[in-house]
C-alpha cells in the first residue's frame, strides 16, 4: 500500500524559515532509515504558500489566486511517499520521525488509491493507458 505522509505547515514554514543543520542531520538519518527499509518512495519539502498559486474550479470557470494563503494549519510544508504493508506500519514509522519543524508539528497520513480501488470504472482500456503513463514516467527518472 502506498501512503502520503504530509508535513503540515506552521508560521515558521510559511515565513520561509529553513531548518538548521541539527534538524537537517536528524531528518537525513531518518530518511536513510526509511530508504534502507524500502519504505520511502519519494519526499521533499515545499516552499511557503507565498510562492504558490491556487486554482479554483467552478464548472468550466477557473480562477487563479496568488499565495500566500491565510489558513496556515491547512497548508503543507512537505511530504513523503511511503510503501507500507498497512496504515499501522505507516503510523509506526511516522512515530520515529524527528519533529519535522523543530516546534509544534503535525503529520497527516493518507492512503493513496491503487488501480483496484476503482473497480469496474477503471476499464481495461483505461488501466492500459494508466500503465503506459507510469512506464513513461519511470523511464524519465
**Residue in 66, 37, 29, 36 with CA at minimum distance from that of residue 51:** 66
Residue ranges making up the domain that contains 134: 2-139
The number of domains in the chain is 1
Question: What CATH number corresponds to the domain at position 120?
Answer: 3.30.70.1060
List, for residues 2-61, the tens digit of each pLDDT value.
Answer: 999 999 999 899 999 999 999 999 999 999 999 999 999 999 999 999 999 999 999 999
How far apart are the C-alpha atoms of 86 and 39, rounded to whole Å?
Answer: 11
Confidence class for position 104, pLDDT limits 50, 70, 90: confident
Pairing of strands 107-111, 53-58: unpaired
Amino acid at each position: 500500500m502506498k501512503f502520503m505522509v504530509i508535513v503540515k505547515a506552521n508560521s515558521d514554514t510559511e515565513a520561509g524559515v529553513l531548518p538548521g543543520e541539527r534538524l537537517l542531520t536528524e531528518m537525513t538519518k531518518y530518511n536513510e532509515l526509511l530508504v534502507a527499509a524500502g519504505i520511502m518512495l519519494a519526499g521533499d519539502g515545499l516552499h511557503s504558500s507565498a510562492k504558490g498559486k491556487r486554482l479554483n474550479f467552478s464548472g468550466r470557470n477557473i480562477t487563479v489566486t496568488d499565495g500566500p494563503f491565510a489558513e496556515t494549519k491547512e497548508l503543507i510544508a512537505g511530504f513523503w511517499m511511503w510503501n507500507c504493508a498497512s496504515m499501522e506500519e505507516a503510523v509506526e514509522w511516522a512515530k520515529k520521525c524527528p519533529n519535522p519543524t523543530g516546534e509544534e508539528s503535525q503529520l497527516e497520513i493518507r492512503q493513496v488509491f491503487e488501480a483496484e480501488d476503482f473497480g469496474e470504472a477503471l476499464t481495461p482500456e483505461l488501466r492500459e493507458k494508466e500503465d503506459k503513463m507510469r512506464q513513461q514516467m519511470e523511464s524519465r527518472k
